[in-house]
């Protein structure tokens, strides 16, 4: 027999199954003993270090040659990202570049967000995120979260089980019912959930694999979206009533069934009635948090505590006028109400200090269609339809806007406010920038530089009469990453209202006297990652001290305990660790024969 007839082995091998080819490669390769990881895994965004892989790592991992031979450390890579970022024209282009980096090079992405927080925040969060949400179908590329539709009823647990990560500790969920100042954005609201969890990692150090953005797609009443060929959501009218509430109940139960009873569930951008209804329903049976109500409430109260520091007037001696009666305004109003009661005022006395002004005018006992949550603040007085007239009559120390109506605080409103207060305070909290009630420049100009101003979106410094003012940003990113960090690390059972007073106090104390002197009521956004740790420690301590944690034993050093859990933004070796072992002598001589023990 000759073997020459069997020589067309390559053709045969090409026809074998993938398993057969693998078998031939393993058993005919002289280097088959070398563990060669799949290069797709090594270059996965979660593991990729790019040019920061050392030559040894590249060679031992079998990826040598996939990058140029040069080496860049993390600082050099950050500089390269910064140069690329600066080269992009316009916020949308910058967002697209940063978003792409998050999928290619995850750790570098989060490090860039942390080190350049003040510059990048307006790109990945407000105000640019509003533009992204408005045209989300145009920007959608990656499955960065889970879309659970009303048609998944009865199978939500199955959908959650499809998520790639199985050790989720926090879920950020929206139904897109009221996104920023944009209104009903349906499934486009996913952009907000994705942006929120990115800040969990960048600012608070929560590991990205522990986070899950979710959009509950129950339709939309936004006719423009329904007619948009690029809309990615269900093209149905928004589902409401019992069917919607049962759907939400199934989601909450499925989440804790899938990920654990102490999973942190962050509700985001639900319409005001639903936001408050779900908070009241779930706050003490789930580890549930509503950023629009509680996060905004804690942030707003912190700013008011700093108004107290600057003016030397006690909050209980002030009058507050809230323009807007949505979840943000009501969240702050209720947080303030609780704080005033904590200072000895009765419920009635505390409520008498707080006035609400909605689209129908001042909320009074005779107002029509008063939301249940606003009735506490309804006043037994004649109606006032005009905002200027309300300011003239009430003479508020603090004027707060959360309306989504740009330019609502006119020159006349601001001049009237300043006429009655030596240091009036203006909180223009609506997002994005074009929806804010007044700009920083308008506020300083029309109050002759005496205003204590803060806004929801960032504004540049203002120079008035030769003095430079730095307007603060009353941004929830100063609190919600830390709240999540503390709740996750302490494995909270639930989060009571009192915990947000601790958060507000922590945020207020973090504002330095120098910042207050420059007109800033809040710390700079660039310090948000340090503040997140402070807030996280305050939250965790409260949970430990009040028996609301599932961690036993209680750690002695809460700060150190939390820091050990945080996601590292520095590179680590891609190779498994090795350590020395002694050389064992070989067994020699006649006594080394194995004994037969059978």
Q: What pLDDT digit, counting tens, does each position of 152-208 carry?
A: 999 999 999 999 998 999 999 999 999 987 899 999 999 999 999 999 999 999 999
Distance CA 450, CA 359 (A): 28
Confidence tier at 322 by pLDDT (50, 70, 90): very high
Looking at residue 19, what is its pLDDT?
37
Looking at residue 10, what is its pLDDT?
44
Residue 475 is labelled as binding a ligand? yes
Domain boundaries 294-474, corresponding CATH code: 3.40.50.720
Confidence tier at 31 by pLDDT (50, 70, 90): very low
Neighbours of 383 (CB within 10 A): 15
pLDDT-above-90 percentage for the chain: 77
Residue 570 is labelled as binding a ligand? no
Interval 104-109 mean pLDDT: 95
H/E element holding 113?
Answer: helix 106-115
Interval 423-435 mean pLDDT: 90
Looking at residue 586, what is its pLDDT?
78
Interval 17-44 mean pLDDT: 51
Tell if the pTM clears 0.85, that is, is over it.
Answer: yes
3-state SS string for 202-233:
HHHCCCHHHEEEEEEECCCCCHHHHCCCCCCC
Interval 337-361 mean pLDDT: 95
Contact of 474 with 271, CB cutoff 8 Å: no
Q: Residues of CATH 3.40.50.10380 domain(s) within the chain?
A: 75-270
- For the cut 50, the answer to whether the pLDDT of residue 258 exceeds it is yes
- Beta pairing partners, 321: 355, 399
Distance CA 252, CA 246 (A): 10
Looking at residue 284, what is its pLDDT?
96
The class level of CATH for 75-270 reads alpha beta
Confidence tier at 30 by pLDDT (50, 70, 90): very low
Residue pLDDT, tens place only, 208-217? 999 999 999 9
Interval 96-116 mean pLDDT: 96
Looking at residue 12, what is its pLDDT?
36
Taking CA atoms, 561 is separated from 21, 405, 506, 551, 565, in Å, by 50, 44, 19, 11, 7
DSSP 188: G
Looking at residue 371, what is its pLDDT?
80
Contacts of 403 (CB under 8 A, 6+ apart): 323, 324, 326, 430, 437
Interval 88-94 mean pLDDT: 95
Interval 499-528 mean pLDDT: 94
Looking at residue 367, what is its pLDDT?
86
- For the cut 50, the answer to whether the pLDDT of residue 248 exceeds it is yes
- For the cut 60, the answer to whether the pLDDT of residue 29 exceeds it is no
- For the cut 50, the answer to whether the pLDDT of residue 240 exceeds it is yes
- For the cut 90, the answer to whether the pLDDT of residue 325 exceeds it is no
Q: Which residues are catalytic?
A: 125, 196
- For the cut 90, the answer to whether the pLDDT of residue 482 exceeds it is yes
* Lowest model confidence (mean pLDDT) among 40-44, 112-116, 247-251, 532-536: 40-44
Q: Please indicate whether residue 574 or residue 598 has the higher confidence score (pLDDT).
A: 574
Interval 280-308 mean pLDDT: 96
Interval 447-459 mean pLDDT: 93
Distance CA 192, CA 267 (A): 11
Confidence tier at 596 by pLDDT (50, 70, 90): low
Looking at residue 32, what is its pLDDT?
39
Strand order in the sheet with 211-217: 146-149, 211-217, 170-174, 264-267, 288-290
N- to C-terminal Cα separation, the chain? 48
- 258 token code pair: 């899938």
Confidence tier at 327 by pLDDT (50, 70, 90): confident
Contact of 469 with 515, CB cutoff 8 Å: no
Looking at residue 33, what is its pLDDT?
40
* Lowest model confidence (mean pLDDT) among 379-388, 474-483, 542-551, 587-596: 587-596
- 516 token code pair: 């207050």
Distance CA 70, CA 113 (A): 25
Question: If we measure between CA atoms, which residue out of 4, 3, 24 comes closest to residue 13?
Answer: 24
Across the chain, mean pLDDT equals 90
Strands 361-362 and 354-358, by their bridges, are antiparallel
Residue 434 is labelled as binding a ligand? no
Residue 360 is labelled as binding a ligand? no
Distance CA 102, CA 198 (A): 9
- For the cut 90, the answer to whether the pLDDT of residue 449 exceeds it is yes
Confidence tier at 120 by pLDDT (50, 70, 90): very high
pLDDT-above-70 percentage for the chain: 92
Distance CA 336, CA 354 (A): 9
Distance CA 597, CA 120 (A): 71
Q: Residues of CATH 3.40.50.720 domain(s) within the chain?
A: 294-474
- 134 token code pair: 């408005």
Residue 334 is labelled as binding a ligand? no
């Amino acid at each position: 027999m000759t073997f020459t007839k069997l020589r067309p082995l390559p053709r045969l091998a090409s026809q074998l199954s993938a398993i057969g080819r693998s078998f031939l490669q393993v058993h005919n390769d002289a280097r088959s003993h070398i563990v060669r990881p799949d290069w797709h895994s090594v270059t996965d965004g979660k593991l990729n270090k790019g040019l920061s892989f050392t030559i040894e790592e590249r060679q031992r991992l079998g990826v040598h040659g996939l990058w140029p031979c040069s080496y860049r450390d993390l600082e050099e890579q950050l500089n390269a990202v910064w140069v690329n970022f600066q080269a992009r024209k316009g916020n949308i282009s910058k967002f697209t570049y940063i978003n792409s980096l998050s999928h290619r090079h995850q750790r570098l992405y989060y490090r860039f967000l942390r080190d350049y927080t003040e510059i990048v925040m307006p790109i990945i969060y407000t105000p640019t995120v509003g533009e992204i949400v408005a045209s989300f179908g145009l920007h959608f590329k990656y499955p960065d979260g889970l879309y659970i539709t009303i048609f998944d009823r009865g199978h939500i647990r199955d959908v959650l089980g499809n998520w790639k990560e199985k050790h989720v500790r926090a879920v950020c969920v929206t139904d897109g019912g009221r996104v920023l100042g944009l209104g009903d954005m349906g499934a486009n609201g996913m952009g907000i959930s994705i942006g929120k969890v990115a800040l969990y990692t960048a600012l608070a150090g929560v590991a990205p694999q522990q986070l899950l953005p979710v959009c509950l797609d129950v339709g939309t009443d936004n006719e423009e979206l329904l007619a948009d060929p690029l809309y990615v959501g269900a093209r149905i009218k928004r589902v409401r009533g019992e069917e919607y509430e049962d759907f939400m109940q199934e989601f909450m139960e499925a989440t804790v069934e899938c990920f654990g009873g102490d999973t942190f569930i962050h509700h985001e951008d639900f319409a005001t009635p639903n936001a408050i209804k779900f908070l009241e329903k779930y706050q003490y049976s789930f580890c549930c948090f509503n950023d629009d109500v509680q996060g905004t409430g804690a942030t707003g109260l912190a700013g008011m505590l700093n108004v107290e520091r600057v003016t030397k007037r006690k909050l209980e001696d002030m009058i507050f006028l809230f323009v807007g009666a949505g979840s943000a305004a009501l969240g702050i109003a209720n947080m303030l109400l609780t704080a005033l009661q904590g200072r000895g005022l009765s419920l009635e006395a505390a409520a008498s200090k707080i006035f609400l002004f909605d689209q129908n005018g001042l909320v009074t006992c005779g107002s029509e269609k008063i939301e249940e949550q606003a009735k506490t603040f309804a006043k037994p007085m004649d109606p006032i339809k005009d905002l200027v007239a309300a300011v003239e009559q009430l003479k508020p120390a603090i004027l707060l806007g959360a309306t989504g109506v740009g330019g609502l605080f006119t020159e006349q409103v601001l001049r009237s406010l300043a006429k009655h207060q030596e240091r009036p305070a203006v909180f223009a909290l609506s997002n994005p920038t074009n929806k804010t009630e007044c700009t920083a420049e308008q506020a300083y100009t029309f109050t002759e530089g005496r205003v204590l101003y803060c806004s929801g979106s960032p504004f540049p410094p203002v120079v008035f009469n030769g003095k430079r003012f730095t307007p603060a940003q009353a941004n929830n990113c100063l609190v919600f990453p830390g709240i999540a960090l503390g709740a996750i690390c302490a494995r909270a059972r639930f989060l009571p209202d009192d915990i947000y007073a601790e958060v507000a106090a922590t945020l207020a104390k973090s504002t330095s006297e120098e910042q207050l002197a420059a007109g800033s009521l809040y710390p700079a956004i660039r310090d948000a990652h340090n503040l997140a740790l402070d807030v996280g420690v305050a939250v965790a301590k409260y949970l430990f001290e009040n028996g609301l944690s599932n961690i036993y034993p209680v750690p002695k050093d809460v700060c150190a305990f939390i820091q050990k859990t945080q996601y590292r933004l520095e590179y680590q070796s891609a190779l498994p660790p090795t350590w020395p072992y002694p050389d064992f002598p070989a067994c020699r001589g006649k006594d080394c024969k194995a004994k037969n023990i059978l």
